[in-house]
């Protein structure tokens, strides 16, 4: 998830002989160990701002994380006397220095500020351990604001990885197995949306139609062998590049980190420039099919969200995330990745429908989709644009096929978006989206779009399925715990007496000692140990209920209609 996200390639660097072009930023990165803890030391040199005050970009709040300035252990000037201050609110470090000097050398140390077992959420902060590191560039490399501004998003970066042991792997969004790297003609957006890893990673490199793809993974996984994921990645890259008619990337990286989860599975990814970063729970509950989805979703962001950008990021998440969801399952089924076919598409699409229809904020207007709300943690907020947009993509795809008698589809619209982005850097706006889609339809698309995206009204799927002649079931089984938690998840606040929780014996006021729930699963029992009248009681049940939610039937007729 995320945001969701971008980067490029690098040159010779040592601080005595580094490249000194006025728009070049030099970095030297080296390992540091103190009192058994591991850190990364970064030295950077660059031309100063002539006014005597240089500003370094280092966001304190990004990608749903805050207090990122806490990962800076110390910072100091090496070249001149001066004063460094931090401004967390604006996301900068300010350096006061003499006006007459030409270049500055700054040194700072980055630390890991999360503790305990590594979770999915922790990976979006620097992870720096004795055997490895994993960091995203926006909370690793400080960028001088005046160089970003003066170079008009066209500056150079040089990185020297110094002092690491010979067998210590170095890999990132710009290259793999390179100790000296040069990125030329990059931008703040591109450079600050990259992943950097090092240590006990395994780097597998593949040649796909003349382009290098690096799969960068660490840990011993319970659910799969590296070779399995290499096959999945190879087929995924081929399928998506063929769909987009785009084989122009000389290098692409995929990183994968293991995280800890006691029960159930979790996985997450971020699409980046020429790369995507993933992490997943390393346990027996992880399924390769989940990773097939993850790889395809994140690679899809190489175009929807990266090349084809949103004009107002969160306001168009229905596109960059929702359309990415739809084409993730469509391309998997079409290319038979991991032998998955139209049955997989129908299963996953039905899951999207359930999640939208059971979302407590399913009719939230799009105007309320902003950064603060999206990252607020409010139930249903992050999945809303994914599911709402995926259903819009399904409708639009089938509507275009219907109106053009099968000659065109939503595929043609996306390829037009790609060409416009390449030619004029056109971004997705609501008027542009509607205008482009209208080229393929008999009637104006705006009323439908306004009703279901702008206003957020729920789709009438029964009418939609009938209109496109899909066979469907009017009801389905959905996940429902059957009760609500008190604040802090300490006890049962309210309970629905018609559902399985009550039938299994759970009551209002029961205090939880142990909770084991596979969130969203209708096949795994919810298990609790509760305290009632001073005694422990074990309760388990399937957390399900029947709901009036239309679902596509998995049959030969519907598979033929999908026409992949």
Number of domains the chain is built from: 3
Whether 438 and 540 map to the same domain: the answer is no
pLDDT digits (tens, 9 = 90+) for 420-469: 999 999 999 999 999 999 999 999 999 999 999 999 999 999 999 999 99
Whether 413 maps to a domain, the answer reads yes
Terminal Cα-to-Cα distance of the chain (whole angstroms) = 27
Whether 294 maps to a domain, the answer reads no
Cis peptide before 270 (omega within 30 of 0): no
- The rounded distance, in Å, linking the Cα atoms of 234 and 86 is 45
pLDDT digits (tens, 9 = 90+) for 70-108: 999 999 999 777 899 999 999 999 999 988 888 899 999
Within 10 angstroms of residue 521's Cβ, the number of other Cβ atoms is: 16
Of the three residues 176, 192, 208, the one that is the final residue of a domain is 192
Whether 489 and 530 map to the same domain: the answer is yes
Whether 235 maps to a domain, the answer reads no
Whether 450 and 483 map to the same domain: the answer is no
Q: What CATH number corresponds to the domain at position 520?
A: 2.30.42.10
- The rounded distance, in Å, linking the Cα atoms of 336 and 354 is 24
CA 224 vs. chain centroid, Å, equals 22
Whether 528 maps to a domain, the answer reads yes
412: DSSP letter: H
Integer angstrom CA distances of residue 280 from 44, 197, 203, 267, 503: 33, 16, 18, 4, 35
- The rounded distance, in Å, linking the Cα atoms of 108 and 80 is 15
Q: Are 170 and 198 in contact (CB under 8 A)?
A: yes
Whether 99 and 147 map to the same domain: the answer is yes
- The rounded distance, in Å, linking the Cα atoms of 394 and 348 is 12
pLDDT digits (tens, 9 = 90+) for 234-292: 999 999 999 999 998 999 999 999 999 987 889 999 999 999 999 999 999 999 999 99
Whether 246 maps to a domain, the answer reads no
Q: Are 543 and 459 in contact (CB under 8 A)?
A: no
Tokens of 265: 């599975």
Location of structure tokens 């995320």: 2
Whether 107 maps to a domain, the answer reads yes
Whether 363 and 309 map to the same domain: the answer is yes
DSSP H helical segments within 425-488, as ranges? 430-438, 446-449, 461-467
Domain extent for 521: 477-547
459: DSSP letter: P
Q: Which of 524, 554, 521 is nearest to 540 (CA)?
A: 524
- The rounded distance, in Å, linking the Cα atoms of 423 and 430 is 19
Instruction: Report strand pairing: 275-281 vs 251-259.
Output: parallel
Whether 367 and 422 map to the same domain: the answer is yes
Whether 410 maps to a domain, the answer reads yes
371: DSSP letter: H
Instruction: Report strand pairing: 155-161 vs 24-34.
Output: parallel
Whether 30 and 102 map to the same domain: the answer is yes
Q: Are 214 and 176 in contact (CB under 8 A)?
A: yes
Whether 361 and 424 map to the same domain: the answer is yes
Tokens of 9: 């390639």
CA 388, 392, 395: angle at the middle one, nearest 5? Answer: 140
Of the three residues 170, 192, 214, the one that is the final residue of a domain is 192
Whether 427 and 321 map to the same domain: the answer is yes
Integer angstrom CA distances of residue 365 from 358, 373, 389, 454: 16, 12, 13, 6
- What is the residue-level pLDDT of the chain in tens, covering all 564 positions? 333 332 222 222 333 334 446 689 999 999 999 999 999 999 999 998 888 899 999 999 999 899 999 999 999 999 777 899 999 999 999 999 988 888 899 999 999 999 999 998 899 999 999 999 999 999 999 999 999 988 777 899 999 999 999 999 999 999 999 999 999 999 999 999 999 999 999 999 999 999 999 999 999 999 999 999 999 999 999 999 999 999 989 999 999 999 999 878 899 999 999 999 999 999 999 999 999 999 999 999 999 999 999 999 999 999 999 999 999 999 999 999 999 999 999 999 999 999 999 999 999 999 999 999 998 888 899 999 999 999 999 999 999 999 999 999 999 999 999 999 999 999 999 999 999 999 999 999 999 999 999 999 999 999 999 999 999 999 999 999 999 999 888 999 999 999 999 999 999 999 999 998 888 889 889 999 999 999 999 999 999 999 999 999 999 999 999 988
Whether 468 and 481 map to the same domain: the answer is no
Whether 451 maps to a domain, the answer reads yes
In 262-362, beta strands by DSSP E: 267-272, 275-281
Q: What CATH number corresponds to the domain at position 440?
A: 1.10.390.10
Is the backbone of residue 181 left (phi > 0), alpha (psi -120 to 50) or beta?
A: beta
| Segment holding 306, helix H or strand E | none
Q: What is the largest CA-CA distance in the chain?
A: 79
Q: What CATH number corresponds to the domain at position 81?
A: 2.60.40.3650
- The rounded distance, in Å, linking the Cα atoms of 123 and 259 is 9
22: DSSP letter: T
Of the three residues 175, 192, 209, the one that is the final residue of a domain is 192
Q: Which of 85, 89, 22, 98 is nearest to 55 (CA)?
A: 85
Q: Which of 421, 413, 353 is nearest to 388 (CA)?
A: 353
CA 74 vs. chain centroid, Å, equals 30
Phi, psi of 515, rounded to the nearest 5 degrees: -130, 125
Q: Could you tell me how many residues make up the chain?
A: 564
Which residues lie below 8 Å from residue 282, measured CB to CB, with a gap of 6+?
A: 219, 220, 221, 222, 223, 258, 259, 260
- The pLDDT score that the predictor gives to residue 21 is 60
- The rounded distance, in Å, linking the Cα atoms of 164 and 444 is 60
Tokens of 75: 């910072």
Tokens of 175: 């290259």
Whether 560 and 504 map to the same domain: the answer is no
- The rounded distance, in Å, linking the Cα atoms of 295 and 254 is 9
User: The whole model's pTM is what?
Assistant: 0.87
Strand-pair partners of 170: 198
Q: Which of 466, 472, 495 is nearest to 483 (CA)?
A: 495
Whether 56 and 126 map to the same domain: the answer is yes
Q: Are 391 and 459 in contact (CB under 8 A)?
A: yes
């Amino acid at each position: 998830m995320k945001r969701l996200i971008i980067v490029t390639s690098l040159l010779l660097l040592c601080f005595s002989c580094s490249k000194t072009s006025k728009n070049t930023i030099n970095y030297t990165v080296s390992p540091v160990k103190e009192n058994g803890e591991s850190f990364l030391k970064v030295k950077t040199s660059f031309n100063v701002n002539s006014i005597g005050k240089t500003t370094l970009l280092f966001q304190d709040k990004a990608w749903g994380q805050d207090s990122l300035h806490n990962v800076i252990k110390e910072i100091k000037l090496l070249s001149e006397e001066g004063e460094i201050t931090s401004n967390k609110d604006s996301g900068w470090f300010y350096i006061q220095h003499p006006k007459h000097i030409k270049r500055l050398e700054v040194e700072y140390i980055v630390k890991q500020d999360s503790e305990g077992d590594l979770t999915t959420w922790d990976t979006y902060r620097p992870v720096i351990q004795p055997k490895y590191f994993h960091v995203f560039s926006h909370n690793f490399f400080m960028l001088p604001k005046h160089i970003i501004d003066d170079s008009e998003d066209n500056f150079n970066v040089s990185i020297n990885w110094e002092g690491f042991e010979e067998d210590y792997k170095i890999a990132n969004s710009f290259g793999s197995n390179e100790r000296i790297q040069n990125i030329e003609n990059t931008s703040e957006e591109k450079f600050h949306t990259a992943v950097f890893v090092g240590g006990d990673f395994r780097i597998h490199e593949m040649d796909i139609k003349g382009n290098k793809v690096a799969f960068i993974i660490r840990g011993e996984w319970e659910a799969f062998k590296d070779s399995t994921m290499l096959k999945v990645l190879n087929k995924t890259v081929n399928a998506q590049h063929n769909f987009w008619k785009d084989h122009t990337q000389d290098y692409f990286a995929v990183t994968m980190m293991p995280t800890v989860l006691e029960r159930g599975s979790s996985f997450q990814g971020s699409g980046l420039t020429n790369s995507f970063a993933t992490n997943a729970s390393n346990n027996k509950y992880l399924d390769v099919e989940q990773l097939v989805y993850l790889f395809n979703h994140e690679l899809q962001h190489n175009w929807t969200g990266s090349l084809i950008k949103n004009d107002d990021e969160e306001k168009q998440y229905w596109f960059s995330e929702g359309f990415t969801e739809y084409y993730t399952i469509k391309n998997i089924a079409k290319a038979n990745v991991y032998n998955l076919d139209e049955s997989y598409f129908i299963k996953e699409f039905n899951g999207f429908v359930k999640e939208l229809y059971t979302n407590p904020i399913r009719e939230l207007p799009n105007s309320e989709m902003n950064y603060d709300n999206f990252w607020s943690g409010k139930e249903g907020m992050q999945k809303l644009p994914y599911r709402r947009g995926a259903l819009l993509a399904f409708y639009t795809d089938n509507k275009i096929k219907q109106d053009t008698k099968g000659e065109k589809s939503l595929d043609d619209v996306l390829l037009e978006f790609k060409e416009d982005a390449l030619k004029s850097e056109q971004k997705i706006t609501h008027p542009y989206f509607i205008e482009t889609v209208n080229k393929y339809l008999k009637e104006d698309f705006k009323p439908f779009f306004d009703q279901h995206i702008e206003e957020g009204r729920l789709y009438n799927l029964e009418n939609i399925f009938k209109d496109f002649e899909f066979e469907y079931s009017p009801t389905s089984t959905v996940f429902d715990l059957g009760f609500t938690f008190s604040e802090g998840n300490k006890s049962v606040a309210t309970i629905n007496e018609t559902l399985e929780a009550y039938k299994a014996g759970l009551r209002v006021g029961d205090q939880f000692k142990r909770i084991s729930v596979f969130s969203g699963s209708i096949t795994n029992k919810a298990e609790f140990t509760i305290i009632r009248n001073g005694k422990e009681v074990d309760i388990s049940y399937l957390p399900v209920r029947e709901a009036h939610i239309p679902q596509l039937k998995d049959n030969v007729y519907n598979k033929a209609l999908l026409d992949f």
